[in-house]
Amino acid sequence: MKGIVFNLLEEVVTLHHGDDLWDRILDQSGVDGVYTSLGSYPDDDMHQLVNTTANLLEIPANDVILWFGRKSMPLLAERYPHFFADHSSTRPFLVSLNSIIHPEVRKVHSGAIVPVFDFQDAEDGALLMGYQSERKLCALAQGFSEGAADHYEEVLDFKHLKCTQHGDDKCLFHINFYKNC
């Protein structure tokens, strides 16, 4: 996984819980702890960091990933404002992931292995979003999506209709978008 993701985790943890917690997470995870933005590092390091964070904060690892994804978005919006400025709401922003955002990311972060998404309109007007990745980080996809909704002052009703963690061939999300009032 690219260093930028490790850097985001460090920033989110220190922003919300302070430098000391990040130092304890590094100590207890047994990882190197030096991550440059453009470098690539083992996925296992990320799992270890997430699991240690979960133990220290006494919350499930899945909740750490959701929280980390959501709180990362303001940081990504600072660094990549044009991805957000191109859209006025969450739905078209998400739909641009495969065609614009992640391909651009891959130009800058060579070796990035980004997930594959597919999009369809559900009969009830919701967005059906498929997610496929060996990494099975659907919680991160949900957290990023919720963070994007925060950016556009929207709230999501985000359901996992299918999940590879429960034996399905891919993850399928059913997402409704509401203005935050």
4 part of the interface to ligand HEM, by CB under 6 A:
yes
| Amino acid at position 79, single letter | R
Q: According to the binding rule CB under 6 A, does residue 135 interact with ligand HEM?
A: yes
128 lines the binding site for ligand HEM (CB under 6 A): no
Return the axis-axis angle of helices 43-57 and 61-79, rounded to nearest 10°: 110
Calpha distance 105→100 (Å, rounded):
9
Q: Are 98 and 136 in contact (CB under 8 A)?
A: no
Q: 120, 128 in Cβ contact below 8 A?
A: yes
Q: Is 76 in the site for ligand HEM (CB under 6 A)?
A: yes
Number of residues that bind ligand HEM (CB under 6 A): 25
* Contact with ligand HEM (CB under 6 A) among 37, 62, 133, 164: 133
Pick the closest to residue 148 from 70, 81, 65 (CA basis).
Answer: 70
Q: Is 97 in the site for ligand HEM (CB under 6 A)?
A: yes
As a residue count, the chain comes to: 181
Stretch that binds ligand HEM, among 12-20, 56-64, 130-138, 153-161 (CB under 6 A): 130-138
9, two tokens: 């985790």
The residue ranges that bind ligand HEM (CB under 6 A) are 1-2, 4-5, 76, 80, 83, 94, 97, 101-102, 105, 109, 112-115, 133, 135, 137, 140-141, 144-145, 148
